[in-house]
Amino acid sequence: MPGHLCIAEAAHFFYELCYTYCMRLNKYIASAGICSRRKADELIANGNVKINGTVIREMGAQVGEGDVVSVNGRILKHDTAKVYVAVNKPLGYITSMSDDKDRATVADLVADIPERLFPVGRLDYNTTGLLLMTNDGDLAHTLTHPGHEVNKTYIATVSGVVSNARLAKLRKGVDIGGFVTSPAQVRVLKQNPHSAVVEISIHEGKNRQVRRMFAAVGNKVQSLERVAIGDIRLGRLLQGHYRKLTRSEIDYLKSL
């Protein structure tokens, strides 16, 4: 009928309208730079999120144009510039934005950055080295998703001798307690009489995985430093300091 949309055209128009103006709630929170999508799901489940003043606990809830979303009473805005930094985490810092035991957190290391950044993945309390931090929730979700196999490279000082037989086990995959690791890339950089310095690359992120892998072959980790995430390297960045990622580094991460 002239001047009116046919059913197919109307359906297409409605789809385009929803695509343009609707966004899943957890993605909306992440893209506002509050946290990752996974953490956003926790906030939703705990009743910390409201849309237009109403508490929302539905994971699949959609945010439309004009909706006001708040997290813990804070209204979200999407005009915050995206920031991407590499941090050299020292010993004794936890990979969290806050701590109820009043321990130092990685948030303290970027306190002078106006935007609220959150860590991409984790580093153990006793592990030092490269940690990425950003307010880009979509990128954080991509990099930490189990389906994305991004290599993380560590330098470990371990006790004892790392024999060829032990290297072979690590390269094949070892049982770290109910979980068999994927093959690791590993080489001895220096063998001392009672310890060794080893470079190891893995793409999984189980809790204390590198320490558990070496323990499984008979070597105890004495110190552990992450020196690279994919092609992003720690380089000469001093402990406790950060640097902004270059445009090429950001593009590389987004291409993964």
Q: How far apart are CA 220 and CA 236, in angstroms?
A: 27
Taking the CA atoms of residue 116, residue 122, residue 127 and residue 129 in that order, the dihedral angle to the nearest 10 degrees is -60
Q: Which of 41, 102, 112, 124 is catalytic?
A: 124
What contacts 8, CB < 8 A, 6 or more positions away? none
Q: Does residue 124 have an active-site annotation?
A: yes
Q: How far apart are CA 91 and CA 225, in angstroms?
A: 10
Task: Round to the nearest angstrom and report the end-to-end CA distance of the chain.
Answer: 48
Can you list the alpha helix ranges (DSSP code H) found in the chain? 7-21, 25-31, 37-45, 137-144, 164-172, 209-216, 247-255
118 neighbors 78 (Cβ within 8 angstroms): no
Q: Which residues are catalytic?
A: 124
